[in-house]
Amino acid sequence: MTPPIPLFIIGATLGSLFPGPQNLIYDWANFLSSIALFIYGYILASDGGFTQAIERHWKKALGAAIVLTLVLAYVLINYGEQRGYSLGHILLTAGGTLDTWLWLVAILGLGQRFLSFTNRAQAYVNEAVLPFYVLHQTVIVVIGFFVIQWHVVVAAKYLVISTTAFCANVLVYATLVRPWNPMRFLFGMRARGRRQ
């Protein structure tokens, strides 16, 4: 269980100095945590022992993640977020870090257990991952710019933005990116052969 330790150190030391909001200048805690998780992903995905460990422990990790999430939610709702270098901040950071790690193990285990197959739909979706990632924020911001001005409840805005953005991403990908080799190249995809 040593992988979460660097994440805890980042959160415990930088979490109070850079509480957010998320941006490119004053968000070093989240930035460094994300980089650490990215590096973990690369290292751990290439380690067969880690894959086997996930297969053995993902169910326990899922159960523990659910319980810890509920405990953290209870604490945050009843006592609020702790800031500064207090015992409360350190304990919440430790709990949040462990919860993040447990959810990662659980989700990876679920993926190994239930998504270890190939078919045409999966091949299509796998190929779309990078273009979706590149496109999604711009699409969400453009749609959100107009939707947030509506005088409706936040839940309705969220539903409209998320549904419309997903559909717009699918449409842009299917019509403007996937069929055209120059666009495929720009989005890091292999060129289409004549039979595709």
Query: What's the pLDDT at 140?
Result: 95
Q: Where are the alpha helices (DSSP H) in the chain?
A: 4-14, 28-45, 48-79, 87-114, 120-147, 154-172, 181-186
| pLDDT tens-digit series, residues 80-111 | 777 777 888 888 888 988 999 999 999 999 98
CB under 8 Å to 189, separation ≥6 — which residues? 127, 130, 131, 177, 178
Read off the DSSP letter of residue 175. Answer: I
Tens digit of each residue's pLDDT, the chain (196 residues) = 577 888 888 888 887 777 666 676 778 888 888 888 888 888 877 888 888 888 999 999 999 999 999 999 999 888 877 777 788 888 888 898 899 999 999 999 998 888 888 888 888 888 999 999 999 999 999 999 999 999 999 999 999 999 999 999 999 999 999 999 999 999 989 898 755 4
Query: What's the pLDDT at 20?
Result: 65
pTM of this prediction?
0.68
CB 42 within 8 A of CB 131: no
How far is Cα 133 from Cα 104, in angstroms, rounded to an integer? Answer: 19
